[in-house]
Amino acid sequence: MISAAHMISAADLARTLKQVDQKLDLLLAYRRIDQAASLERIYTSARELLAPPLNEVRQMEVWRLRGEMRQLRVTWRGELEHHLTGIKDPFQDGWFDWLVPRRQSYDQEVREKISGGQLRLMLIEYSLRLDRVLAGATGTWDVSSATLADELDVIDRVGGLLKEKAAVISEPRREPVQRMIECIEAMVDNYRNLLHQHHGPSALPELR
C-alpha cells in the first residue's frame, strides 16, 4: 500500500509538472506574440506618420515610437544575455569526467539553447534597420548616432558572451552556432560602418 501511494504521488507530481511546463510555454509564446505585435504596430504607425508632410508633432511621435523600439531591443538583448549566461562550462564546474560518456548529447543540448536566441537576434537587427530609416526620415540621424554607437558596443559584448559559450561545444559540432556568431558580428560591423559613412536620408530605403 505504501509503495502504491508513492507511485500515485509521483504520477500526480509528474502530471502537475507537465501542466506547469505547458502553461509556461504558453505564457512565453504569448509574450513573443505580444512583442512581435508591438513591433508591427510601430512599423504601421510610422508609415502613417511619414505619409503626409512631416511637422513637429508627427516628428515627436516618430521619436516616441523609436523609443519603444529601443525598449524592445533592450528586452531582446537582455533575454539573450540571460539565456547565454545560464549555459555552464563543464570544465569549470568540475564534472567533465562524468560528462564524457554523454558529450554528444550535451553538445546538442548547448547548441539548441544557443540557437534558441536566433529569433531575438533577427528582431534586434530588423528593429535597428527600421530605427535608421526613421532617424533619416526625421532628420535626426546625426543626433542619434552616439546612442546607436553605445548600443552596438553592448550588442558586441553579447557577441563576446556568445563566443564564450560556443567554445563549450566540441569543435566538430560547433558549425551551426558559428553561423550565429557570424550573424551578430556582421550586424555590429554593418551598422558601425553605416555610422562612419555619415549617410543622410537619401541613402536610406523608403519605408513601405
And the C-alpha cell for 99?
Answer: 560528462
- Say how many C-beta atoms besides its own lie within 10 A of residue 200's C-beta: 11
- Nearest CA among 36, 37, 33, 125 for reference residue 77: 125
pLDDT of residue 92: 61
Q: Strand runs (DSSP E) across the chain, as ranges?
A: none
Cα–Cα distance for residue pair 132/140, rounded to 1 Å: 9
164 touches 179 (CB < 8 A): no
pLDDT of residue 172: 74
- Say how many C-beta atoms besides its own lie within 10 A of residue 7's C-beta: 10
Cα–Cα distance for residue pair 49/137, rounded to 1 Å: 11
pLDDT of residue 133: 93
Place of cell 544575455: 81
Q: Per this entry, what is the length of the chain?
A: 208
User: Distance of CA 121 to CAs 50, 126, 172, 174, 192, Å?
Assistant: 27, 9, 24, 18, 17
List per-residue pLDDT tens for the chain, 208 residues long: 555 554 555 555 556 555 555 566 677 777 888 998 999 999 999 999 998 888 999 999 999 999 999 999 999 999 999 989 888 766 665 555 555 556 777 788 888 888 888 889 999 999 999 999 999 999 999 989 999 999 999 999 999 999 998 888 877 778 778 888 999 999 999 999 998 886 544 344 455 5
Give the phi and the psi of residue 122 in degrees, each rounded to 5.
-65, -40
